[in-house]
Amino acid sequence: MNEEELKKYISLFHGTIYRLAFSYLRNYADAEDVCQEAFIKLYNYKGRFESDENCKAWLIRVSVNISKNILKSSWFLKRTELDENIPVETDEEYELIEKIMKLPKKYRLIIHLYYFEGYSVKEISKLTGTPVSTVTTQLSRARKQLKEAILKEGL
């Protein structure tokens, strides 16, 4: 891959990869690290992509794997989280994102890919390597937990 192609893919997919990593790790710096590592892997990738969507799917899969590796690392397990302000337009958006971030990570990922990235259940299944029925169940459970949180605490 040449530098021009890399710049194109960074401009197209940086936001997507960043938001995905942030939904997993809940930390801006770690999300940036995931982006950087994913785009380095893309630059070193020897294959070709049939389309931009194939590249996006590849980057999402790589980013999920990098995020999982960070979560399993002993360094990550020994640290403490700091409260960070999530940039949003309104207080309602902040409250909703706050509730989403309290969901278990498997639900956060599904919610992010479905609602924020616009993937179908079938596409999410391919991206995450999870059966379609599992994705459907996780999406349903995530919606139920969000609904309960919203009704309990209000939004």
Q: What is the pLDDT of residue 138?
A: 93
Count of structural domains, the chain: 2
Give the pLDDT band (50/70/90) at residue 101: confident
pTM of the predicted model as reported, rounded to 2 decimal places: 0.61
Same domain, 60 and 93: no
Number of alpha carbons in the 13 Å side-chain half-sphere of residue 16: 24
Residue 115 DSSP code: I
Same domain, 109 and 74: no
Q: What is the pLDDT of residue 82?
A: 44
Same domain, 9 and 80: yes
Question: What would the pLDDT profile of 26-40 be if each residue is shown by its tens digit?
Answer: 888 889 999 999 999
Which residue range forms the structural domain that includes residue 151? 89-155
> Which residue among 42, 57, 84 closes a domain?
84
> Which residue among 84, 107, 129 closes a domain?
84
Q: What is the pLDDT of residue 85?
A: 47
Among candidates 82, 79, 80, 116, which has minimal Cα distance to 97?
116
Q: What is the pLDDT of residue 109?
A: 86
Please state, in angstroms and rounded to a whole number, the distance separating the CA atoms of residues 105 and 88. 21
Same domain, 74 and 102: no
